[in-house]
Amino acid sequence: MMPFDTGRPEMNVEEFRLLRDFVYAYCGILVRDDMKYVMQRRLWPRLEALGLTDFGSYYRYLRFDAQRRPELETAIEALTTHETYFFREPRQLKAFSDEVLPVLERRNARTRRLRVWSAGCSSGEEAYTLAMLLKESGRFEGWDVEVHGSDISRRVLAVARQGEYGPSALRATSADQLSRYFVQLGPNRVRVRDDIRALVSFGHHNLQEPEQGSCSSRMDAVFCRNVLIYFDTPARQRVLRLIYEKLTPGGYLMLGHSENLINLSADFELVHLRGDLVYRRPELGGWSP
């Protein structure tokens, strides 16, 4: 018995498979077989909002209704977790600041240009955090610096652009960081300072549809943390291929702390920093793909 879920329609295995395949085809998100319950629970509010009584009808709605496109996006919203917060995974961030940024500063000294991409940025905390680190490093004054955040979910992007956050987004932010990078709006609400916001841009991008990408320039570093977890192996490989192509040779890739490229890609080399492990697109001497 599911104590809080009584009286709502069950999703049968066939409906589950149809919905799952459909979602997978659209954005590569893999809903594992043992997650039927999760899918059901997350889509219940959609059935309720649309006045539908079973998941078969919902599936047909997604396929055939005039509102199918926006509803599909809403369904994806519901199925993906947007867990994120400022200064998440501090160890990696420290390694980035202390060890990667000096390298990038040297490499790009001539162009004085730096591009960092937060792929699957959710509501923007990661992209802003990176902008804060770039600022704090003091290395790129007067440079052309941009942090680009992208996500498949338009709802989280709207939040990201607004740049206003509450307590849970700040649960790993120190009082010092709070006073340096945020403006207090109310007892429970802050806004990212304008000088940080000026470094960050956001765009919509389904990582499974490469040609749709919202950023055109080559990236010096890509953070793609806690995004690959949604995908199965071929879909992960597609994303990694895309990131590889977006990175400049010698550019860095940072994954979430529980993620790695074992059995996924040998395109990247593993770099042992003092503080953490990161990946890098190898340099290539005079050889162009």
Partner 1 sequence: MSEEGRNAEELRYRALLALDVFRTDARERLVEGLHDESWRVRRAAAGGFARVPGRAASVERLISVLGERDETGARNAAAEALVSLGSASVGPLVRLLGHVDPDQRKFAADILGQLARPEAEDALVSVLLEDGDLNVRVAAAEALGRMAGRSGARALERTLNDVEPLLRLSALESLAALRQPPPLSDVLPLLNNPLLKRSAYRVLGLIPRLEATELVCRGLGAESRSTREAALVALGQQAALTAPSLRSAMDVAVSQVLQRLPEASGWVASALESEDLELRAGALVVAAVLRSPKLAPLVAEVAQEERLVPEVMRTLACFGPETGRELLASMGRLSFPAREAAGQVLVEMVDASFVPELVQMLDWGELDVKSVAVRALGRTGSRDAVAPLAQLLSDPEMAALAARALVSLATSHRDLVLQVLESALEGGAEPAVLNALVRVGGTAKLPLVRRIASQASVSLRATAVEVVAAVDPVGGLELARSALVDESSSVRAAAVRVIGQLGDASMAELLARALADSALEVQLSALEAVGECGALERAGDLESLVRHPDGAIAFRAVRSLARLGLLRDEVLARAVSHEDHEVVKAALQAGADRGGGEALALELLGHARWDVRAAAARVLADSGGTSSLPTMLAALSLETDTLARRALVDAVERLSGR
Ligand X SMILES: C[S@@+](CC[C@H](N)C(=O)[O-])C[C@H]1O[C@@H](n2cnc3c(N)ncnc32)[C@H](O)[C@@H]1O
* Beta-strand relationship, 182-186 and 200-204: unpaired
Site string for ligand X, 221-240 (x = CB under 6 A): ----xxx--x----------
User: Could you tell me the two tokens for 282?
Assistant: 């190898």
- Does 65 contact partner 1 by CB under 8 A? yes
Q: Which stretch binds partner 1 (CB under 8 A): 33-41, 175-183, 201-209, 236-244?
A: 33-41
Query: Of residues 121-160, which lie at the interface with partner 1 (CB under 8 A)?
Result: 123, 155, 159
For residues 70 and 241, give the distance between their C-alpha atoms in angstroms, rounded to a whole number. 28
129 makes contact with ligand X (CB under 6 A): no
Please select the residue that binds ligand X; options are 11, 23, 29, 219, rule is CB under 6 A.
Answer: 29
Q: Are 174 and 85 in contact (CB under 8 A)?
A: no
CB of 145 to partner 1, least distance (A): 25
**Contact between 30 and ligand X per CB under 6 A:** no
Out of 53, 54, 70, 81, name the contact with partner 1 by CB under 8 A. 81
Q: Residue 56's closest CA among 7, 6, 24, 11?
A: 11
Q: Residues 238-257 vs partner 1: string with x where CB under 8 A?
A: --------------------
Question: Given 46, 88, 151, 280, which residue is catalytic?
Answer: 151
Interface with partner 1 includes 37 (CB under 8 A)?
A: yes
Segment 269-288, which members bind partner 1 (CB under 8 A)?
Answer: 269, 282-285, 287
Instruction: Give 152's DSSP letter.
Output: S
Region class of 286: left (phi > 0), else alpha (psi between -120 and 50), else beta: left
Cα gap 47→14, rounded to integer Å: 17
Residues 104 to 123 in contact with ligand X, rule: CB under 6 A:
120-122
- Look up tokens 């770099």; give the residue: 271
The encoded tokens of residue 150 equal 């992208």
Q: Does residue 167 bind partner 1 (CB under 8 A)?
A: yes
Is 82 an interacting residue with respect to ligand X (CB under 6 A)?
A: yes
d(CA 119, CA 172) in angstroms, rounded, equals 21
CA distances in angstroms from 227 to 118, 151, 169, 222, 259, listed in the order given: 11, 10, 18, 12, 9
Rounded to whole angstroms, how far apart are CA atoms 273 and 249?
A: 18
| 4 interacts with, out of ligand X, partner 1, none, CB within 5 to 8 A per kind | partner 1
Do the Cβ atoms of 243 and 63 come closer than 8 Å? Answer: no
**What type of residue sits at position 272?**
H
Structure tokens at 19: 């919905």
- Chain residues binding partner 1 by CB under 8 A are 1-5, 13-14, 17-18, 32, 34-35, 37-38, 41, 49, 60, 63-68, 81-84, 123, 155, 159, 164-169, 171, 186-189, 266, 269, 282-285, 287, 289
Active-site residue list: 42, 151
**For binding to ligand X (CB under 6 A), which residues are involved?**
27-29, 80-84, 88, 120-122, 126, 151-153, 156, 205-208, 225-227, 230, 256
